Structure 1
Amino acid sequence: MMFTKGRIGSLLLKNRLVVPPMGITSDCDGRFHDRSIRYYEERAKGGFGLIITGYSAETYDYEDTTCNVLDKV
């Protein structure tokens, strides 16, 4: 079942393997880095049917990150 085609609305997937969104792929400032790109490239090469990327910052005007949050206590 996991390796059969799937559909989400009009989107046809080659299989039902999905990488869910996770907040593990950005720097402390919220920007994507080369390691993030490699992370998603490897999953795409691995044959996942759908990859949902994690968060990245839209603006850098605010310190709204949990990176090193315990250092601020």
Structure 2
Amino acid sequence: MIFNYIISRRCLYEEILKTKELVQNIIYSLNVRFNNFLTNIFQFIKELILPALIILFLILILRLISKKNKQTK
């Protein structure tokens, strides 16, 4: 009876360790995917949105300059 108890405790402990390792692997995988997702978003911002904002800013400056030139004439 005691022997069965010890074996069952050991099996339970091994299952807990396996489950813990599985949960850690899942968390690591989700963390890696989330980091990749954030990296992709920042790369998208850097490559597409930032240049578009710079171009829009330059267009705004050119319009302001042209309006000033029209007012001075």
So what's the TM-score if we normalise by structure 2? 0.23
So what's the TM-score if we normalise by structure 1? 0.23
For the pair shown, which has the larger CA radius of gyration, 1 or 2? 2
Which fold has the larger relative contact order, with Cα–Cα distance below 8 Å and residues 6 or more apart in sequence?
A: 1
